[in-house]
């Protein structure tokens, strides 16, 4: 079962459209800010009457792909507009958001599970700095895995262990060098950890060399063999002897950041990507996480406004997170990261200057920051405006009429697996798997914390035909391949010629079929929905529907015609599949 989440509702709609062709009942699409993704735990949100050891108690994941918003400098080759949009401060603006999203992902990860952190940027502030901060906050609960042996044909480079941070055309090696008036913008977590010097790094002017990681590159460099040669690095000619003579040493990170993967465009003619794989060893321990209090200080003569939000990959987040350590020795994942989020503004007078502080506190039970058009507004989680509720279809009469009309076998359970988004007179019915059903039950018990944009696969739709039909619903093409092996009624088998003509012309009368036998079979059906299956070669009829590669289409048997009930794009796809298969 997969839960796919995106903050932008338009991107959710695109995801729903693209996954429709998969015909899977194991998918839920949600619309949340990833840093506030609901924990959905029964431990605190529900009374003991709901607690059943046989039921799902909290939402945890075996695998998480944390593809965070980033500055997108790695997409410049394909997105030429990035040359106009990009600036050097974008990575700094997104750093805390990336940390918060990744920390939420770790909290939602099962012990023993893995999380992949990825960006399409090469900025270490968005990459290695985030991973180092995750490892620092998580203590011994999380480890960074070495996956260098995976995908050996993929050309990759190791992560950096030291880097500088740029702000307003100045470069800083440590947070101590940052001017006092910029410390609320450039945070300590952006720099390499300063507690260890286990890895040796050398800097010569603007050229940085990682000696320990030199042999980890896909194209190895041997310093001894090239001692008499100059190396051209970014247009600067530096000899190995000069490198070793440099005296400017930078303290590197104590974490094994070389286990991260950097994919650069010129290695294999691709875009640029950063990838890190994290393994959760134990529940997060709050006593090992240091206090982190980061604030934005605004002048008293300024007002706080929500600005128009750019594209997700270049979204500047000005509000930062304030995390307070609680006076307890240990807390679990729910207690540490399940506090929700609210936006508060406190006006205070400092000894040095007047300022107003904006603090964002996790509180995903009470409120979240959700996107509405081009503005961010506060919405209560129990009231998802513009999103229809998910209701389990319990109408036995409707379910039995569908089962009997299409001859759906008992091995394909419908009861308890059908849901709808309409409170009365359901227009569309979706089929969900057992795993999705458990998530829905959990979400119901915790007060509907998940904002579900889509789930399962659309299986049935209420028809509007005036033709007399004992079943009020017809099959949906979206879910046809899933239910087809279990249907025993209302099936017609057509030759390649008849099937192609039917899809091409959409509607054909019984008398105009070239195969008179097929026309007679269609005429013998009672009015209503039916399925036309492509009959290929000498294949047995009873085995065709069980083959996943079978081509079939949903039709409507009218008074004197057979009509194809698919969209123009699906018709085009069917014709292309036939052309590929039959030439």
pLDDT digit string, tens, across residues 287-343? 443 433 333 333 333 322 333 333 333 333 333 333 333 333 333 443 444 333 333
Cα–Cα distance for residue pair 137/100, rounded to 1 Å: 11
Q: Is 346 annotated as a binding residue?
A: no
Q: What's the pLDDT score for residue 315? A: 37
Residues 522-564: pLDDT tens digits?
999 999 999 999 988 777 777 788 888 899 999 999 999 999 9
Q: Is 384 left (phi over 0), alpha (psi -120 to 50) or beta?
A: beta
In this prediction, residue 100 carries a pLDDT of 96
CA 138 to chain centre: 22
In this prediction, residue 240 carries a pLDDT of 47
Query: Which residue of the set 70, 120, 204, 530 is catalytic?
Result: 120
pLDDT in tens, 182-227: 999 999 999 996 443 333 333 333 333 343 443 334 443 333 333 3
- Phi, psi of 409, deg, nearest 5: -70, 155
Residue 171 pLDDT > 70, yes or no?
A: yes
- Tokens representing 202 are 């050398």
**CB-facing half-sphere around the CA of 179: CA atoms within 13 A:** 8
Percent of the chain with pLDDT over 90: 56
Each residue of 246-275: pLDDT tens digit?
Answer: 445 567 889 999 999 999 999 999 999 999
Structure-token match 């450039």, residue found: 186
Residue-level pLDDT at 193: 66
Question: Could you tell me whether strands 507-509 and 561-564 are parallel, antiparallel, or unpaired per DSSP bridges?
Answer: antiparallel
In Å, what is the CA distance from 212 to each residue of 12, 143, 159, 306? 43, 20, 12, 46
**Residue 135 tokens, joined:** 């490892």
The string of DSSP codes covering 234-302 is: TTEEE-HHHHHH--EE-PPPSS-GGGSEEE-HHHHTS--EEEEEEEE-S---GGGSPPEE--EEEETT-
Q: DSSP string spanning 315-330?
A: ------BEE---S-S-
User: Model pTM?
Assistant: 0.73
User: Domain ranges in the chain?
Assistant: 1-31+387-480, 32-199+252-380, 490-583
Encode pLDDT of 40-79 as tens digits.
Answer: 887 654 444 445 556 678 899 999 999 999 999 999 998 8
User: Distance between CA atoms of 182 and 105, rounded to whole angstroms?
Assistant: 29
Does 120 participate in catalysis according to the annotation?
Answer: yes
Could you tell me how far CA 302 lies from the centroid of its own chain?
Answer: 36
d(C-alpha 541, C-alpha 312), whole Å: 50
Give the three-state DSSP class for 347: strand
Rounded Cα distance, 407 and 470, in Å: 13
pLDDT at res. 296: 37
Is 6 part of any known ligand binding site? Answer: yes
Overall average pLDDT of the 397-413 stretch: 94
Angle at the Cα of 433 (from 45 to 572), degrees rounded to 5? 130
Distance in angstroms (rounded) separating the CA atoms of residues 88 and 169 = 9
Q: Which of 351-360, 410-419, 436-445, 460-469 has the lowest mean pLDDT?
A: 351-360
Q: What is the pLDDT of residues 348-379, one digit of tens each?
A: 333 343 333 333 322 332 333 333 333 333 33
- Nearest C-alpha neighbor of 403 from the set 493, 477, 475, 492: 475
């Amino acid at each position: 079962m997969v839960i796919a989440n995106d903050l932008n509702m338009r991107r959710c709609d695109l995801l729903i459209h693209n996954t429709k062709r998969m015909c899977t009942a194991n998918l839920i699409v949600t619309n949340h800010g990833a840093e506030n993704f609901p924990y959905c735990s029964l431990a605190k949100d529900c009374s003991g009457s709901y607690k059943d050891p046989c039921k799902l108690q909290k939402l945890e994941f075996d695998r998480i792909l944390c593809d965070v918003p980033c500055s997108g400098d790695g997409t410049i080759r394909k997105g030429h507009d990035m040359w106009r949009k990009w600036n050097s401060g974008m990575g700094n603006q997104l750093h805390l958001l990336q940390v918060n999203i990744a920390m939420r992902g770790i909290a939602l990860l099962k012990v023993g599970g893995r999380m992949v952190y990825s960006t399409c940027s090469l900025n270490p502030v968005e990459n290695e700095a985030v991973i180092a901060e995750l490892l620092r906050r998580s203590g011994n609960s999380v480890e960074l895995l070495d996956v260098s042996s995976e995908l050996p044909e993929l050309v990759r480079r190791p992560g950096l262990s030291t880097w500088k941070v740029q702000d307003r055309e100045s470069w800083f090696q440590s947070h101590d060098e940052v001017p006092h008036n910029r410390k609320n913008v450039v945070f300590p977590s952006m720099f390499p950890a300063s507690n260890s010097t286990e890895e040796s790094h050398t800097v010569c002017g603007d050229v940085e060399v990682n000696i320990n990681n030199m042999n980890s590159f896909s194209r190895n460099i041997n310093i001894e063999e090239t001692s008499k040669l100059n190396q051209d690095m970014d247009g600067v000619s530096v000899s190995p002897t000069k490198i070793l003579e440099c005296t400017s040493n930078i303290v590197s990170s104590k974490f094994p950041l070389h286990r991260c993967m950097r994919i650069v465009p010129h290695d294999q003619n691709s875009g640029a990507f950063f990838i890190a794989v994290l393994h959760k060893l134990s529940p997060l321990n709050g006593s090992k996480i240091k206090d982190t209090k980061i604030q934005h200080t605004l002048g008293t003569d300024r007002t706080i406004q929500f600005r128009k939000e750019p594209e997700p990959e270049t979204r500047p987040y000005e509000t930062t997170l304030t995390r307070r350590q609680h006076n307890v020795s240990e807390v679990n994942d729910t207690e540490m990261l399940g506090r929700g989020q609210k936006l508060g503004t406190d006006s205070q007078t400092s000894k040095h200057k007047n300022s107003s502080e904006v603090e964002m506190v996790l509180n995903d039970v009470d409120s979240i920051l959700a996107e509405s058009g081009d503005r961010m507004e506060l919405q209560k989680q129990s009231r998802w405006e513009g999103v229809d509720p998910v209701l389990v279809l319990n109408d036995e009469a409707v379910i039995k009429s569908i089962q009997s009309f299409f001859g759906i076998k008992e091995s394909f359970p419908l009861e308890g697996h059908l849901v709808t988004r309409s409170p009365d007179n359901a227009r569309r019915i979706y089929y969900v798997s057992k795993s999705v059903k458990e998530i829905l039950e959990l979400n119901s018990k915790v007060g509907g914390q998940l904002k579900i944009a889509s789930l399962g696969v659309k299986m049935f739709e209420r028809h509007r035909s005036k033709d007399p039909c004992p079943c009020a619903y017809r099959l949906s093409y979206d879910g046809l391949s899933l239910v087809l092996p279990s249907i025993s009624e209302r099936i017609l088998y057509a030759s390649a010629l008849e099937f192609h003509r039917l899809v091409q012309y959409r509607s054909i009368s019984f008398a105009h079929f070239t195969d008179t036998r097929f026309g007679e079979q269609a005429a013998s059906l009672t009015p209503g929905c039916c399925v036309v299956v492509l009959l290929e070669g000498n294949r047995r009829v009873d085995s065709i529907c069980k083959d996943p590669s079978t081509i079939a289409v949903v039709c409507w048997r009218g008074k004197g015609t057979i009509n194809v009930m698919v969209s123009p794009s699906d018709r085009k796809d069917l014709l292309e599949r036939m052309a590929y298969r039959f030439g």
